[in-house]
A and B are shown apart, each in its own frame.
Chain A
């Protein structure tokens, strides 16, 4: 079993839909990161969370430490949101950074 699991692996939605991507982890963590990778490779860090909720524009990230679960939401989705979204956790025991496999999101106009 992977220490960080994302779901779904692939998600296709229509423009305007509300998007949720989930990340579950099985280890103790000091922080969780959400990152975005567009086709062509560039990776951008979206959020870093250790508790609660953060919002940036149409993106919202939440984390529940007790349940070892985080969600990334996109409101009013747009085709330019099409990308791979990756969850990564920083282990609190040895500072290892463990990455999820990513969720490939396609937003159709």
Chain B
């Protein structure tokens, strides 16, 4: 089966600009996750969707970050405006349901200048 697809792989922007990441989960996976991983740290869950509904977004900085999964398949994560501390790898994962193993994409490495 095809894995979780993410794009772009790399993105470099200046602070205060906007950026968007895209994730296509494994076909049929109802649960989708977005993580932020800062260099040297473990992944931090930003938001998790069950189909097109949000299960948990308690750690999403909602003043600048937004995410959607309108049709319950693909998802986009947006940062507007970006800050220097947003430099990180943004990982998308999906699973059949909430209590099933997660499959991870390769991530998008974001650098803020």
Contact = CB atoms under 8 A, between A and B. Distances in A.
Interface range on chain A: under 10, 10 to 19, 20 to 34, or 35 or more?
A: 20 to 34
A95 B33 CA distance: 13
A86 interface: yes
A50 B107 CA distance: 28
Tell me which of B42, B55, B56, B91 has the highest count of chain A C-beta atoms within 10 A of its own C-beta.
B42
Interface string B76-105: 000000000000010101000011111110
A95 B55 CA distance: 7
Contacts of B33: 97
B42 A95 contact: no
Contact of B100 (A48, A95, A100): A48
Contacts of A95: 48, 55-56, 98
Contacts of B58: 96
Nearest to B89: A41
Interface of A: 30-31, 33, 35, 41-45, 47-48, 50, 84, 86, 90, 94-97, 99-102
